[in-house]
Structure 1
Amino acid sequence: MAPRRRVLSASVEPQQVEPQPMATVAEDPPMSTVAEDPPMSTVAEDPPLAPPKLGLVLFASAHFFFPFVYLVFIHYRIEEELRRSIAICAAMSFAGFVVCLRMIPVAARYVLKRNMFGYDINKKGTPQGNIKVPESLGIVIGIVYLVIAILFQHFNFTADSNWLVEYNAALACICFMTLLGFVDDVLDVPWRIKLVLPSFAALPLLMAYAGHTSIVIPKPLAQFVGVAFLDLGWIYKLYMGMLAVFCTNSINIHAGLNGLEAGQTVVIAAAILIHNVMEIGTSSDPEYKQAHAFSIYLMLPLLTTSLALLSYNWYPSSVFVGDTYTYFAGMAMAVVGILGHFSEALIVFFLPQVLNFLLSCPQLLKFYPCPRHRLPSFDPKTGLLTGTDDGTLVNLFLRKFGKCSEKSLCIRLLIFQALACLLCFWFKHILAGWR
């Protein structure tokens, strides 16, 4: 089963005490009933949501937006119309960031009222481990993202635009996956079903895809293959469907720490945006440029809304993202990789997720026992995590580099994620002269 921090609250029934007749209460009010009144205890115990960690967001944003603005408006000679579209998308994405900051606390109160909460397993045995943490707040990010992406069409696409069909197909996939993720949060879908869900969500994209189905063979390998371009036909569409399944589930199983799901999405989304700008700046093909601009339009709102979620989800987490967010984020990055025609680079960006998936396969395929929560062992006395024998990248880091705090472990994993993205840029630089 995927490593998850939540404890399903569907089994929590705060109103199990039968209401007493008025006459009985008036004559002899039972003290136990008064003391255990669920609504009063819930109001007293549920603390207000901690404020967002905006300092973290400012620090993370500075490392991306300054290079992004420099590349778009100074370093590369990009057409004014394309720059205008990117600027509009960036402004709308910033508005989405502000809206998410305001909506997350509101939504958190509503999900708590519906008993959708969890306890942080990595803090079990400490006071923080007894706090009800609102679950499934990724639904806020998904809704705001879709509203921004839909409204952006008014400023960039015309009714006869060649990209409008694929753009709406991408939004349909993302919307479908957000819905299925929320269903999973509510119903707790079995793992074998989770592998199938992205296949259905990817259908709109596969049906609307009208791009090429060929891949470019690097020059060192072209002499062995015999051609510079290899047309895969229906195999390429099968590959696209498998990529969508992998991206959605890989974010979901590389989890278990405060800030890890949102953090890895922020790092990968930032790398995708930088990659797209570099491709636009070094290409002279209008269609190729438009494909990467298409990716920018979908990644900018993902980055800003994820930063808003990260400000609440960072250690110590005030909210949990839920499967809603992991499925939504994975599908969003999958569709831009497919429609932007850089699925090979996307796989390198997802290198930690690939490694985590390979480590997880023996347990997911039932060769070894697979517990529900494949999390590290937490020592409440020291506050440190110790790696277990479960096949996850989280436990592998603890086994190789020693026990550490949850926050330190998350930072190490995000640094590893950033190094994987830098490795992709290095590969791109080396292979650029081979094409």
Structure 2
Amino acid sequence: MNKYKSTNVSGSGGIIGSTGFIIGLLSFISFRTFYLETNLFLPEILAALCTIILLSGIGLIDDLLGWRKGGLSKRSRLILIFISAIPLMAINAGKSIMSVPLIGPIDFGIFYPLVLIPIGIVGASTTFNFLAGFNGLEAGQGILLLFSLGIVSLFTGSYWLMAFSLCMIASLIAFLLYNFYPAKIFPGDSLTYSVGGLIAVISILGNFEKIALFFFIPYILETCLKLRGRLEKHSFGKPTPDNCLELNYDKIYSLNHLSIFLLSKNNIKVTEKKVVFSIW
């Protein structure tokens, strides 16, 4: 992808990154249980862990089917991701009172766990998967977003949520060593679903959904551009013999395309690395 001469690259490597996060979080639980001797927030931590495991599994299934049948259908994908939110719904995660601009605080009551939580999980995991297709892009974006949420968790006193961010950041950094240009392994949906879902999980449990929504503005824009292409246009560029990139379409259907367009308009040699750095 995005290279003039194609080479064989391992796919679905994101399951390794997700597994690293799961091991890290289980180690964190063990440390709190046996050393600190506290079970504070344990239901929330275990519910979050279940959600990420489910998302990773769904992503892996989507990847495996993608090699043969084009992946899961859009309907099946949404239903399965909705199911992954059930652990958080079951414990009534987060707070149902939210401050809405121009209106003020609103208590959503039972509507929050039954509707808003699954919408958040489905929305974050699927839209995070949209802005992808370039070596290191997804892992790098995940590191930046989770680092920002980790800082927010620190300043709001949610230290246990900061551990969520740190576990995934450590796993993503290790993964990025092999995923950065030229990639030796691709993340696949098993990573993008779990990272996007984790961002939603942290935001819900930490009650800073509005901050996460602000961080997700690029993904909201990406979704709008994808809808412009009826979710049928690819995010890749058109590689040239000298391994530079050109626009694949006459119109912009992704932030990746926008980056290629702006770089070329400024007479900058467009490479995959430069596109990734410009989006970061």
Map 1:320-331 to 2 at 5 A.
320-331=186-197
Partner in structure 2 of residue 142 of structure 1 = 18
Asked if 1:208 corresponds to 2:91, the answer is: yes
Instruction: Return closer, same or farther for 1:245/1:217 CA change in 2, 3 Å cut-off.
Output: closer
Structure 1 residue 307, shift from structure 2 partner: 0.5
How many Å separate the matches in 2 of 1:316 and 1:325? 18
Instruction: Return closer, same or farther for 1:273/1:160 CA change in 2, 3 Å cut-off.
Output: closer
Partner in structure 2 of residue 393 of structure 1 = 255
Secondary structure of residue in 2 paired with 1:195: helix
Instruction: Return closer, same or farther for 1:259/1:382 CA change in 2, 3 Å cut-off.
Output: closer
Q: Deviations over 1:171-191 (max 9, x none)?
A: 000001111111111112233
Instruction: Return closer, same or farther for 1:329/1:230 CA change in 2, 3 Å cut-off.
Output: same
How many Å separate the matches in 1 of 2:185 and 2:105? 47
Structure with more relative contact order (C-alpha pairs < 8 Å, separation 6 or more): 2
Map 1:407-418 to 2 at 5 A.
407-414=273-280
Question: Alignment partner for residue 264 of structure 1, among 122, 138, 141?
Answer: 141
- The letter for the 2-side match of 1:300 is L
> Which aligned segments of 4 or more residues in structure 1 are displaced greater than 3 angstroms?
157-162
Instruction: Return closer, same or farther for 1:195/1:396 CA change in 2, 3 Å cut-off.
Output: farther
How many Å separate the matches in 2 of 1:262 and 1:341? 25
Larger Rg: 1
Structure 1 residue 399, shift from structure 2 partner: 2.5
Partner in structure 2 of residue 7 of structure 1 = none
Aligned length: 267
Partner in structure 2 of residue 244 of structure 1 = 121
How many Å separate the matches in 2 of 1:164 and 1:382? 50
Q: Deviations over 1:239-274 (max 9, x none)?
A: 221111111111211011111010100110111111
Partner in structure 2 of residue 303 of structure 1 = 169
Asked if 1:317 corresponds to 2:183, the answer is: yes
Q: Deviations over 1:22-42 (max 9, x none)?
A: xxxxxxxxxxxxxxxxxxxxx
Structure 1 residue 160, shift from structure 2 partner: 7.4
Partner in structure 2 of residue 379 of structure 1 = 240
- The letter for the 2-side match of 1:173 is T
Is the Cα–Cα contact under 8 Å of residues 294 and 340 in structure 1 kept in the other structure? no
Is the Cα–Cα contact under 8 Å of residues 273 and 296 in structure 1 kept in the other structure? yes
Map 1:79-158 to 2 at 5 A.
121-124=1-4, 126=5, 129=6, 131-157=7-33
Q: Deviations over 1:352-398 (max 9, x none)?
A: 11110111123336xxxx24x34222212462333522521111222
Instruction: Return closer, same or farther for 1:362/1:382 CA change in 2, 3 Å cut-off.
Output: closer
Asked if 1:194 corresponds to 2:38, the answer is: no
How many Å separate the matches in 2 of 1:132 and 1:382? 17
Q: Deviations over 1:165-208 (max 9, x none)?
A: 11101100000111111111111223343233211111111111
Q: Deviations over 1:97-126 (max 9, x none)?
A: xxxxxxxxxxxxxxxxxxxxxxxx2113x3
Is the Cα–Cα contact under 8 Å of residues 294 and 336 in structure 1 kept in the other structure? no
Partner in structure 2 of residue 36 of structure 1 = none
Identity %: 28
Partner in structure 2 of residue 173 of structure 1 = 51
- The letter for the 2-side match of 1:153 is I
TM-score, length-normalised on structure 1?
Answer: 0.58
Give ranges in structure 2 of 5+ residues lacking alignment: 67-71
Secondary structure of residue in 2 paired with 1:230: strand
- The letter for the 2-side match of 1:362 is R
Is the Cα–Cα contact under 8 Å of residues 157 and 164 in structure 1 kept in the other structure? no
Secondary structure of residue in 2 paired with 1:364: coil
Q: Deviations over 1:382-421 (max 9, x none)?
A: 623335225211112223442611110100000xxxxxxx
Partner in structure 2 of residue 294 of structure 1 = 160
How many Å separate the matches in 2 of 1:404 and 1:294? 41
Give ranges in structure 1 of 5+ residues lacking alignment: 1-120, 281-291, 415-435
Secondary structure of residue in 1 paired with 2:88: helix
- The letter for the 2-side match of 1:143 is T
Structure 1 residue 210, shift from structure 2 partner: 4.8
- The letter for the 1-side match of 2:150 is L
Q: Deviations over 1:305-345 (max 9, x none)?
A: 00111111111111111111111111111111111111110
